[in-house]
Chain A
């Protein structure tokens, strides 16, 4: 018998995984995906309680949660686009001058791995004689 607590445990695991992702990852998009995963865990909890208590309020609440999550995703993506246009990168550490006063700055201690060498792409050299072009005729 799959009882209520099994669903609650899965919801808690999803929530905590999302929290770890939000705390550690530095890509803005991955951070927002992690936040959405936390919302999935909460939605699972609400649906499980709706089944347990036998009324529809939990499911209706999940609908509202989806609504708010959709709004949040729209605004967040717009913000991410604006931030990207300012810095040309999705790295959230580039915005660390917005941090609280008194907090030490994040410094990447490890030397970044060397940039991959640019590959020389082969180019076709123009050869032969260019065919004569007729001047464009217009009947306008």
Chain B
């Protein structure tokens, strides 16, 4: 997503962000259960508009491996739709099934993130254990008498407004903090093509304005994952700026400084690979760095089990 990278496009960027947000808020507002019957038609229309608008915001057709994109959009679309169905469901048992769908789709996203162990653990624990326990409690807690609490919702307008406001703030912050890496790649390509030029004058012309270039170099590097390289990058940028300020610098010197920057940038952009043996790597990390946390987690599970038994145990009154 690239919304507010350049100030010239910020107005359209705001509208591209606001349209799906407002449509999603209206969909949730219309679809939340209420005693007088909900506007299912308007709610579904708003939901479809919101999904389409956010998909067009996220989707870029021309790039990258198609299979990954297809799986990502299938899983995430299903997760978001089932999440929406969960919160508008008036029947809690169906809500539990929707939650199972959310969990399964999130597990698919885990798999896309090279986390197969997490996927298996989440399916077993959530979709297996927790959902079943929820359904048990749901069956145990048969409502006696007629209650319409499931057909009411508390402050639907305020809640959906708050949710949309918070989502907008989150998206804005994400966009500022983790922008698209493509402008950085384009910048690196520009540096590389400039370094391939013959004379210092041509290189200077290809690099463009000195102030602007330095500002761009500093801004684009910041969110890249290779943050350990940022000091090196900063000194490289300073060197290049000094070289560009110097009127009679040799072409070889300028080329060397530019190539250094390109090398650091490519290093920072290189995708860091996760180890192939996922379970082994997790186990190695769990039982070395996180040994104390593992012990604490086990203790927490024990204490929670004892506590749950102590809380749920029904003391029978003894006949005196």
- Interface centre among B32, B149, B159, by most chain A C-beta atoms within 10 angstroms, is B149
Chain B residues within 8 Å of A51, by CB: 113-115, 274
Are A89 and B126 neighbours in the complex by a CB distance under 8 Å? Answer: no
Are B312 and A7 neighbours in the complex by a CB distance under 8 Å? Answer: no
Given the known interface contacts A24-B159, A33-B99, the answer about A17 and B80 at a Cβ–Cβ threshold of 8 Å is yes
Are B109 and A24 neighbours in the complex by a CB distance under 8 Å? Answer: no
17 additional A-B residue pairs with CB within 8 Å, beyond A62-B115, A71-B304: A1-B65, A12-B167, A14-B79, A14-B106, A27-B149, A29-B137, A30-B87, A47-B109, A59-B118, A59-B282, A60-B285, A60-B286, A63-B118, A64-B290, A75-B304, A81-B312, A108-B148
Chain A residues within 8 Å of B113, by CB: 7, 47-48, 50-51
CB-CB nearest 7 A-B residue pairs: A54-B272, A21-B87, A91-B149, A71-B304, A1-B64, A78-B312, A24-B153
Given the known interface contacts A5-B180, A56-B275, A90-B143, the answer about A77 and B133 at a Cβ–Cβ threshold of 8 Å is yes
Are A54 and B273 neighbours in the complex by a CB distance under 8 Å? Answer: yes
- Interface centre among A34, A71, A115, by most chain B C-beta atoms within 10 angstroms, is A71
Are B308 and A74 neighbours in the complex by a CB distance under 8 Å? Answer: yes
Given the known interface contacts A6-B58, A37-B83, A90-B143, the answer about A13 and B167 at a Cβ–Cβ threshold of 8 Å is yes
A-B contact count (CB 8 A): 275
> Is B63 an interface residue, CB under 8 A from the partner?
yes
Are A34 and B150 neighbours in the complex by a CB distance under 8 Å? Answer: no
A112-135 contacts to B, CB under 8 A, are 112-113, 115-116
A–B complex contacts, Cβ < 8 Å, 16 sampled: A2-B69, A2-B72, A3-B178, A5-B178, A9-B58, A10-B79, A21-B87, A25-B154, A47-B110, A52-B272, A55-B274, A60-B290, A64-B293, A77-B137, A90-B141, A113-B151
Chain A residues within 8 Å of B110, by CB: 43-44, 47
- Interface centre among A3, A6, A16, A116, by most chain B C-beta atoms within 10 angstroms, is A16
> Is B40 an interface residue, CB under 8 A from the partner?
no
Instruction: Please tell me which one of the listed residues A10, A16, A56 contacts residue B163 in the complex, with CB atoms under 8 A apart.
Output: A16
How far is A89 from B141 in the complex, measured between Cα atoms in Å?
7
Are B301 and A67 neighbours in the complex by a CB distance under 8 Å? Answer: yes
- Which A residues fall within an 8 A CB radius of B? 1-10, 12-21, 23-27, 29-30, 32-34, 36-37, 40, 43-44, 47-48, 50-57, 59-60, 62-64, 66-75, 77-82, 84-85, 88-93, 106, 108, 110-113, 115-116
Are A16 and B170 neighbours in the complex by a CB distance under 8 Å? Answer: yes
How far is A78 from B304 in the complex, measured between Cα atoms in Å?
10
Are A36 and B130 neighbours in the complex by a CB distance under 8 Å? Answer: yes
Q: In the complex, how many angstroms separate the beta carbon of A11 from the nearest chain B beta carbon?
A: 9
Are A54 and B225 neighbours in the complex by a CB distance under 8 Å? Answer: yes
Q: In the complex, how many angstroms separate the beta carbon of A90 from the nearest chain B beta carbon?
A: 6
Are B99 and A5 neighbours in the complex by a CB distance under 8 Å? Answer: no
Are A112 and B148 neighbours in the complex by a CB distance under 8 Å? Answer: yes
Chain B residues within 8 Å of A82, by CB: 311-312
Chain A residues within 8 Å of B80, by CB: 10, 13-14, 17
Q: Is the interface of A mostly helix, strand, loop or mixed?
A: helix
Are B1 and A50 neighbours in the complex by a CB distance under 8 Å? Answer: no
> Is B160 an interface residue, CB under 8 A from the partner?
yes
Report the nearest A residue to B303, measured CB to CB.
A71
Report the nearest A residue to B162, measured CB to CB.
A23
B98-118 contacts to A, CB under 8 A, are 99, 102-103, 106, 109-110, 112-115, 117-118
How far is A106 from B178 in the complex, measured between Cα atoms in Å?
42
> Is B95 an interface residue, CB under 8 A from the partner?
yes
> Is B205 an interface residue, CB under 8 A from the partner?
no
- Interface centre among B84, B118, B179, by most chain A C-beta atoms within 10 angstroms, is B118
Are B312 and A24 neighbours in the complex by a CB distance under 8 Å? Answer: no
> Is B86 an interface residue, CB under 8 A from the partner?
yes
How far is A71 from B125 in the complex, measured between Cα atoms in Å?
11
Chain B residues within 8 Å of A116, by CB: 146
Chain A residues within 8 Å of B65, by CB: 1
How far is A74 from B303 in the complex, measured between Cα atoms in Å?
11
Are B115 and A24 neighbours in the complex by a CB distance under 8 Å? Answer: no
> Is B15 an interface residue, CB under 8 A from the partner?
no
Q: In the complex, how many angstroms separate the beta carbon of A60 from the nearest chain B beta carbon?
A: 5
Are B301 and A70 neighbours in the complex by a CB distance under 8 Å? Answer: yes
Chain A residues within 8 Å of B69, by CB: 1-2
